[in-house]
Amino acid sequence: MNEAAAVLTGNEDPVLESEFMQEMVKQMRAIDTYDTYEGWTPARILDPFVMTKERRQEIPVIGDPDEITMSRVKAFYNAISSLIEKECGLMAIPMINLSHEGFGRAVITVGKLVVMDKTLRDVHRFGFKSLSKMKDEADKLLSVALEIIGKHSDVAGL
């Protein structure tokens, strides 16, 4: 990503202080094996998740996701899993199965219980209109998962 293409310029967005966004930064740093993100602000690290109208138009409608995009998808669901673990104290395991064309499924299990099941399409265009929208989606998935765990705690504990 070059500087000119960045949508987010600094840490001015208050949503960056949320627990989910902090976890997203941790997940992105964890997959950064070459220290590319060293010295980067959280806004700059999370910038590729923001899919503006202009960015979406630059990506072809039909395409295969690259490894970088797939790693961002994994980081998103890993962050949700990590927050599930923090909330309920049980290990949450994300599983992502994608075809080379960018179609598949993301599942998070806790014990023997499936707490999240999301169909993925057009992964090569994975992103959100804003960081706030990404946080809202994650919060929605997290709350549903925690509700399911609460209702079926006996299965989640297996």
Query: What class has domain 14-156?
Result: mainly alpha
E runs forming strands in the chain = 92-98, 104-110, 113-120
For the chain, give every domain's residue range. Answer: 14-156
CA 92 to chain CA centroid, nearest Å: 15
Write the single-letter amino acid at 151: K
Q: What is the pLDDT along the chain (158 residues), one digit of tens a residue?
A: 444 355 655 567 889 999 999 999 999 999 999 999 999 999 999 999 999 999 999 988 888 899 999 999 999 999 999 999 999 999 999 999 999 889 999 999 999 999 999 999 999 999 999 999 999 999 999 999 999 999 999 999 87
Beta-sheet pairing, 113-120 with 92-98: unpaired
- Among candidates 35, 119, 40, which has minimal Cα distance to 73? 119
